[in-house]
Each structure stands twice: as C-alpha cells, then as structure tokens.
Amino acid sequence: MEFLQKLHIDNDNNGVSTGLEWPAANGEKLFSYSPVDGKLIAAARGADKANYEAVVAKAKDAFAKWRLWPAPKRGEIVRQIGEALRHHKEDLGKLVSYEMGKSLQEGYGEVQEMIDICDFAVGLSRQLHGLTMHSERPAHRMYEQYHPLGIVGIISAFNFPVAVWSWNSMLAWICGNVTIWKPSEKTPLCGVACQKIVAEIFAKNNVPEGVSNLVIGGRDVGEWMSNDVNVPLVSATGSTRMGKAVGAAVGARLGKSILELGGNNAIIISKDADLDMSLVGAVFGAVGTAGQRCTSTRRLIIHKDVYNAFTDKLKNAYKQLRIGNPLDELNHVGPLIDKDAVTMYLNAIDKCKAEGGNFIVEGGQMNGDGFESGCYVKPCIAEVKNEYSIVQHETFAPILYVMKYDSIDEAISMQNGVPQGLSSAIMTLNLREAEAFLSHAGSDCGIANVNIGTSGAEIGGAFGGEKETGGGRESGSDAWKAYMRRQTNTINYSTQLPLAQGIKFEF
C-alpha cells in the first residue's frame, strides 16, 4: 500500500532505534496482521535484553547533553515535529486505521491529536515555571524550580498506537528528558513509522542520538523497563492488571509512574436532558473505535421517565450503524483488534445473559464477504443491573449496558459504583443536577462532563482517572510536572548564617 511506502515501512522492519541508528534487533519477530482484512502488513524484529541495555546506555549519554539545551530550543524541535506530522497526517492516519482497526476519521483524528500536543508543548517550553516564597530569615530568598528526570519509559496500548506516545514524548522532551518507547506488540508498525518521522527532524537539528528511542517487544520489555533503576519514570497505558504489575515493580524501587488504566464510563441521561443531543454522545461513546477506548461509554444510567423513549432512539440509531472496512469513510464501526478480543466480547455477552441481562439490541460476530478477518462484531445493548459482575468489569468491545434510576443521588451513586474512575458525563439542562454531578459529592472520576459524552478528551486538560484507573495525569494543564523533579532553593545573601525556626547554634 502506498501509505506504507511513504512512511518507509518495509516487509521486515527493525524494532530497535536510537534515532537514525537502527541497531540490529535480536529478539522475537512480531508479525502485524491487520484486523481489517486479516492480511499480514509487515514484520518487526523485537529487542533482546542486550538490545535494551544498549539503548539505555545511549539514552543516558544523550540526556547529559539534551538537558543542557534551553527549553525554548527544545520546543523548536517539537514545533518541527508537529509540522512533519501535518505533512504525514494522511499516511500515518491510514496506517493507524489499517493496523489498529479504528475508522479512518478516527485515525486522522489521532494524528491531529499528536499535532495538537506538539503545539501545546511548544508554548509550554517557554513556561516551565517555579514559585518564589518569602523566607523567615533576613536577607534570604527562597524559590522552587523543576529539573528533568532523565529517561522516561513509555508503554503504550494498541487502541491509541501513536497519540498516547506523543502526549508523553512531547512533554518529556521539552522538559529536557529522553524517552524509551515500547509500543504495543499488536501495533508495532505505528511505532516504527513515528520513530522514523522524529529521527529525521532530530538529525536535521543535530539533536543527540538517543533522545528518542524505540524498543519493540513483548511483555518482557515492559518488565525490563519497570525494574530498571536507570528509568526514573515509567508512563504505562493499558489494562488495570498490567498497571498493577508496572506500579508494583516501579514502586518497589521507589521510582515514579504515570498509570492510565481501565475505564467503566457512564453517562447519566436526565429526564431534563436534550435527548437528541444525548443520543449522539451515547452512540459515539459506545461504538467509536469499536468500543476499544479507555473512555468508551460502557453504561447508560437513564431516568425512568425517559427510559423507554431514549432506548427506542438507541435501538433506531443502532439499526443505522454501518459496520465494515474502516478505510471506507462511510462506515461507522471497524473491527476489534484481534480474534482474542472477539472471544472476550462473546464471553461477556454470555456472562451478561447468565446474570439476567436482557439484550434489546443483539450482538454477535460478523461473517461473510468483507468480514474475513474474523474480527468484526455487532455493537449491542443490554438491560442490566449495575451490580452485575460483568457490568463491574471493563470489556473492551462495543457492549453498552443500560439501566434505570429515580433520583439524581441514586444516579450518581450508580455512576460511582464501579472499581474504575476515568470518565463520566451527565446529560441535563437542569443546572442543579449539573452542579451536583460536578460537586464534591458528585462524580468520582478524573473526567466529569456536562452535555458531552465520555469519549474524546481535548489535549488542553489533564487526562487521567482515579481508583483502578491509576491516578496518573497526562497531556495538558500542569501534567508536565510529573516529568520533572521539584527542587526547593534557598539563597543567603547576608553576612550571617541564621538558622530556621529561631534555632541558636553558637560556639
């Protein structure tokens, strides 16, 4: 395919890079099959432990030089990366869509998100601020400043194979850090493509080799990174199970981690909601990326007075969904990432029925012409109770659970009554309900929206969640502080050495 050629993706790719250098990888070869048509796209050779250690050594050397570049100059490099991504937006968006399976519009949107974070990081490179404080001691000045950490390890998931890497990398780089990226073994070619784009910009600007590093591989690469004292910060996106393992390993060595894990996101549909507008947010949230977003809408908590009217709208909307090749922009829903994901989807349906769930829109696997990959499924809707064990669990697939509520307090309690705490929303024109949802006693999630859905966060705000979602924050606001170490400084410009708290020490 032409977009692969433009991104310099070969049939057999090296999966270890420190920039323009691509040392011979000696690990297991990963084969990337498209969920769109089941065809082999290309292979990528993964790293062994020696490859990983060589990359770490290169990264440490690069950090000693890169941290000395002025932050605005580092920002200029990121600005150029943003321009390169604009140039490659169409081709990279197609690769994301073809390798991962999300719709082409979502593939383009993911690359646009990369461009947006570049723009954000460029401005931020001139605003890495600290604080000044008044000292209790005369002729003393106190202030805080932030310093880069060193190597930032990035473990990304298949569902956003390029955007989440960019959230971390662009901020890490303007802060003066270097990065080592382990992309998902399910989408390795997206990692190769991004590394090649960045390496070209870095080489043009004489950026030290080893600022941007790629290490493709399986679970073992993530374990090496998590246990490596040379990597002070590991940012990991994925399942709660994976995040607990990463967090435990990093915590055992007193390192830092940013964990972006599972979600079980709900929209409350009030009796005072604009139902037509609510329908758009609910359907896109539930079926966008075939339900494979951490912010996908899993649950609809609907007021009893509008329950029948709104579920009728849902059923009618689901009849109009077009399922098929995501490179066809007329289709709404593409495939799941692989056949294992299909099995989990089918198992979840069975479990839901066993617990008493009533499917008002039936699911199932798609077969026949155009569905040869075996990865296409039908978005479905089930009437359930919030306490069902399957409802408490995040299934990464287009299964939407609907349930009734009576009072706003009951709805908020149901919204909060799951182990995860990423994204949440309420659809209402009632000011009191909206404010209650956003209050201290309201949503317990990291993201809480009014009159928009759970899915589709802007890069300007900090992204992340609470509880089993991990508690980390990425992207906008002051998330940059997680990529730096904070230091308090006191300067004495007097001729005396007074001690704090009035302590006397004389001899």
How many CB atoms neighbour CB 259 within 10 A?
24
501 in helix, strand or coil?
A: helix
Q: Which residue in 190, 233, 220, 157 sits closest to 15, CA to CA?
A: 190
Q: How far apart are CA 505 and CA 68, in angstroms?
A: 39
387 is catalytic: no
Q: What is the CA radius of gyration of the chain?
A: 24
Q: How far apart are CA 96 and CA 36, in angstroms?
A: 11
Of 110, 113, 209, 260, the catalytic one is: 260
Give rounded-to-5 percent helix, strand, coil for the chain.
40, 20, 40
State in Å, rounded, how far the first CA of the chain is from the last one: 81
Q: How far apart are CA 482 and CA 233, in angstroms?
A: 9
Q: How far apart are CA 63 and CA 69, in angstroms?
A: 10
- Sign for the pseudo-dihedral over CA of 393, 167, 109, 93: negative
Query: Are 165 and 191 within 8 A, CB to CB?
Result: yes
29: which strand partners? 45
Nearest 5 degrees, angle CA 178-CA 183-CA 184? 160
Query: Are 465 and 471 within 8 A, CB to CB?
Result: yes
Residue partners of 161: CB distance under 8 A and separation at least 6: 96, 99, 100, 110, 183, 184, 187, 190, 191
Residues in the chain: 507
Q: Could you give the residue numbers annotated as active site?
A: 260
